[in-house]
Structure 1
Amino acid sequence: MKFRTALSTALTALTLSTLMSGAHADPHHKKRVCNECAKVTGVRVVEQDGKGGAAGVIVGGVAGGLLGNQIGSGTGRDLATVAGAVGGAYAGKHIEGKMKTEKTWKVSVRYENGRTGTFQFGHDPHMRKGDRVRREGGTLVRS
């Protein structure tokens, strides 16, 4: 009888220790994931041409018209003037755009849940690869 009691006590203790140690290995007990938290995976600076405006069109058109007016005579001169003005206006707009280049910072992130995303900034966000950030109000802030 003593053997049975000892065996029963040992089995009970073994069962309890197994249950207790299994509490930490429970597959349903997972770490919480922050869906707004991320890590910066890259930062790129991209230069884009600005938009040419009316000033470039006007100056280019006048310059092109003056140059076109120097070519030929009669009807040919009139056509050259018009063609020079149109070509000059087109060129002037693009030249003005090149003079107004804009920098854009593109920050790539990987969220804790595995998703990725990219955010654009018109100024240097002072973020570097490896920084911990959080999406807040449609933009990124440091965590």
Structure 2
Amino acid sequence: MNKSMLTGAIIGGAAVISLGSVAGYQALKGPSYAQVMQVAEVKETVKTPEQVCKQVQITHRKPVKDENRIAGTLIGGLVGGALGNQVGGGNGKKIATVAGAVGGGYAGNQIQKNMQQKDTYTSSEQRCKTVTRSHDRVVGYDVQYKLGDKIDTVRMSQPPTSDRIPVEHGQLVLATAPVAITPAVVPAN
């Protein structure tokens, strides 16, 4: 064998070994992507207290100057006594006058009471109460994936953008590393 044949055989053998080891490494390394099987939103219910106010019409009784209704009792008694005095004669007239005064006093008292209860005014007031509003909010995504023969689930903050998830060294790559921005150096003049 001459020298060039020997060199060619060595180089060829080295090439076969290195290609074989690269192919073997690729086979041992495993798949470079996991297949997305299913994506499900994960939601939570958020409850928010909220104050709800509305205007309400309120009826108030006007202040009463004569709580004991003395004026109505006196006026009713006088009118009742005067009317009772018109009935009968002698002792009957006296009894009719007293009965008229008592009945008129009671009637005057009740009339004044009824008038005081109807003497009202209306105002508008704001009434508030706290109500709880609830709504659902997406907090993540449960992603079922298949990597080789294994089926598993991972929670992600965003849904996958395709039907494959990148894999490096047997692990899912769920987020890309932030790109470092190098500030430009401006030469001094």
TM-score relative to the length of structure 1: 0.48
| Higher gyration radius (CA) | 2
TM-score relative to the length of structure 2: 0.39
Structure with the larger strand share? 2
